[in-house]
């Protein structure tokens, strides 16, 4: 039989706290492509690679952490899990709970998560509750529920999530055969920033890499508590996945930044959408707006002269574009793209396409 990727727990069983007694709840997550991005390399003078996490089973990087968190929850005898979410965690939690045959309760901010993600939570039979508040309110309630009721918390304040997610750094190292010079990623709760930092630190300790990458994290300007140095009460950005005002892994992330000579920056919404367009139109990778902030961050830092020519740069793009596709149909001036409609007429179609009869391909 052809080799099939077995999911991150089996592929990295020696690097994670699992045993023969741990039931492996997997949907085949991880093993995602690390793709060269020639267009971004040309723009920046760096060697740029994109870690395409939208290729995970529910379309985001959350699956790496969720396979670990749900497997450990089931090992502990949990019958129900709970999470707060801006959408991707809830989609992933609901899918892994469905696979495990347990219940997932998900708390999301009312009207603030994308249709794609909402549909996933419902499709996987999650108990979906919309809270009249923001993500930070949802996380407070989820934590209190887990403290006082028999439900197992699977947000990234649960260390099992971070452990599962660190496997992405292992994959990058195995492809590049060293750590990159820079790693760029979006930051919401800063769980993934923490997870990659841990993964790279473990690779260095094992002696398979020669350095730690400088960890560069980006928040949306209207939702940038780490950059501002204080919580944001009413975070606002169209990148709904990272609309978070009080990150759960704030302290861990600051430590990781200091250990790696890292950086946190903020990017405004229009610049995020521009970067999303560059990635989809010039590299061929469609991501949700929150993920495009990695690209925007690289372009901004390169413009500022902070990325030496020839540096190896990895960008994690965290979620698939189909999660929240409406932004691709919005033009730069804010108007909607209107597809061209023509009759069933060869000449007319050729005319609209600008094709000339007998011309070369
Ligand atoms: N990118 C996407 C697509 C996300 O969904 C998230 C977080 C992040 C980046 C940021 O990752 O929180 O580890 O810093 N989404 C969470 C959720 C909050 O509920 O789906 P982080």
pLDDT value of residue 272: 98
Task: Report which protein residue has its CA nearest ligand 1's atom 10.
Answer: 188
Which tens digit of pLDDT belongs to each residue from 312-336?
999 999 999 999 999 999 988 889 9
Which tens digit of pLDDT belongs to each residue from 184-197?
999 999 999 999 99
Give the helix/strand (H/E) hosting 123. helix 115-123
Any ligand 1 atom below 6 A from CB of 89: yes
pLDDT value of residue 294: 98
Any ligand 1 atom below 6 A from CB of 209: no
Which tens digit of pLDDT belongs to each residue from 151-183?
999 999 999 999 999 999 999 999 999 999 999
Q: Check: CB of residue 16 under 8 Å from CB of residue 282.
A: no
Task: Report which protein residue has its CA nearest ligand 1's atom 5.
Answer: 241
CA-to-CA distance for 114 and 158, rounded, in angstroms? Answer: 24
pLDDT value of residue 334: 87
Q: Which of 141, 145, 173 is nearest to 51 (CA)?
A: 173
How many A from CA of 124 to the centre of ligand 1? 19
- pTM of the shown model: 0.97
Is residue 320 left, alpha or beta, with left meaning phi > 0 and alpha meaning psi from -120 to 50? beta
How many A from CA of 48 to the centre of ligand 1? 22
Question: Could you give phi then psi for residue 287, rounded to 5 degrees?
Answer: -130, 165
Question: Could you give phi then psi for residue 197, rounded to 5 degrees?
Answer: -60, -40
* The pLDDT of residue 302 is above 80: yes
DSSP state for residue 101 in the 8-state scheme:
T
Task: Using DSSP bridges, classify how beta strands 80-84 and 47-52 pair: parallel, antiparallel or unpaired.
Answer: unpaired
How many A from CA of 188 to the centre of ligand 1? 5
Mutate which of 169, 242, 252, 294 to test ligand 1's pocket (most atoms within 8 Å of Cβ)? 242
Task: Report which protein residue has its CA nearest ligand 1's atom 19.
Answer: 85
CA-to-CA distance for 53 and 123, rounded, in angstroms? Answer: 21
* The pLDDT of residue 90 is above 80: yes
Any ligand 1 atom below 6 A from CB of 58: no
Among residues of the chain, what percentage have pLDDT more than 90? 96
* The pLDDT of residue 71 is above 90: yes
* The pLDDT of residue 1 is above 80: no
SS (H, E, C) 145-156: HHHHCCCEECCC
pLDDT value of residue 124: 98
Q: What is the mean pLDDT of residues 106-134?
A: 97
Q: Check: CB of residue 142 under 8 Å from CB of residue 109.
A: no
| Radius of gyration in angstroms for the set of CA atoms belonging to the chain, rounded to a whole number | 21
Question: Strand runs (DSSP E) across 53-93, as ranges?
Answer: 80-84
Any ligand 1 atom below 6 A from CB of 246: no
pLDDT value of residue 360: 65
Any ligand 1 atom below 6 A from CB of 187: yes
pLDDT band at 361 (very low <50, low <70, confident <90, very high): low
Residue the block writes with tokens 């952490």: 65
CA-to-CA distance for 339 and 326, rounded, in angstroms? Answer: 14
Token code pair at residue 105: 């309760």
Any ligand 1 atom below 6 A from CB of 120: no
Q: Check: CB of residue 56 under 8 Å from CB of residue 197.
A: no
How many A from CA of 187 to the centre of ligand 1? 7
Any ligand 1 atom below 6 A from CB of 253: no
Which tens digit of pLDDT belongs to each residue from 233-291?
999 999 999 999 999 999 999 999 999 999 999 999 999 999 999 999 999 999 999 99
How many A from CA of 328 to the centre of ligand 1? 20
* The pLDDT of residue 359 is above 80: no
Mean predicted lDDT score pLDDT of the chain: 97
CA-to-CA distance for 139 and 246, rounded, in angstroms? Answer: 10
Any ligand 1 atom below 6 A from CB of 242: yes
CA-to-CA distance for 301 and 183, rounded, in angstroms? Answer: 12
Burial 338-352 (b: 16+ CB within 10 A, else e): eeeeeeeeeeeeeee
Atom nearest to 192 CA in ligand 1: 13
């Amino acid at each position: 039989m052809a080799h099939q990727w077995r999911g991150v727990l089996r592929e990295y069983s020696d690097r994670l706290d699992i045993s023969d007694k741990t039931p492996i709840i997997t949907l085949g997550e991880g093993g995602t492509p690390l793709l060269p991005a020639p267009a971004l390399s040309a723009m920046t003078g760096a060697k740029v690679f994109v870690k395409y996490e939208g290729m995970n089973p529910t379309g985001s990087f959350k699956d790496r952490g969720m396979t670990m968190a749900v497997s450990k929850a089931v090992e502990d005898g949990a019958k129900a899990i709970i999470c707060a979410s801006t959408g991707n965690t809830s989609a992933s939690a609901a899918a892994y709970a469905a696979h495990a045959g347990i219940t997932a309760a998900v708390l999301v901010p009312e009207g603030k998560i994308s249709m794609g993600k909402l549909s996933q939570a419902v499709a996987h039979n999650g108990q979906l509750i919309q809270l009249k508040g923001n993500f930070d309110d949802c996380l407070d309630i989820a934590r209190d529920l887990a403290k006082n009721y028999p439900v197992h918390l699977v947000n990234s304040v649960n260390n099992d999530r971070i452990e599962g997610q660190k496997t992405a750094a292992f994959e990058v190292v195995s492809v590049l055969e060293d750590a990159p010079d820079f790693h760029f990623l979006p930051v919401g709760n800063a769980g993934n920033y923490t997870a990659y930092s841990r993964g790279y630190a473990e690779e260095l300790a094992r002696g398979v890499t020669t350095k730690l990458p400088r960890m560069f994290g980006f928040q949306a300007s209207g939702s940038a508590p780490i950059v501002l140095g204080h919580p944001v009460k009413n975070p606002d950005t169209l990148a709904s996945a990272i609309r978070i005002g009080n990150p759960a892994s704030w302290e861990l992330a600051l430590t990781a930044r200091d250990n790696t000579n890292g950086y946190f920056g903020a990017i405004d919404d229009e610049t995020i959408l521009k970067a999303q367009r560059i990635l989809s139109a010039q590299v061929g990778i469609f991501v949700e707006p929150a993920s495009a902030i990695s690209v925007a961050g690289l372009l901004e830092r390169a413009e500022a002269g902070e990325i030496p020519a020839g540096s190896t740069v990895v960008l994690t793009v965290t979620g698939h574009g189909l999660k929240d596709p409406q932004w691709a149909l919005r033009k730069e001036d804010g108007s909607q793209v209107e597809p061209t409609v023509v009759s069933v007429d060869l000449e007319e179609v050729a005319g609209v396409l600008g094709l000339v009869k007998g011309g070369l391909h």
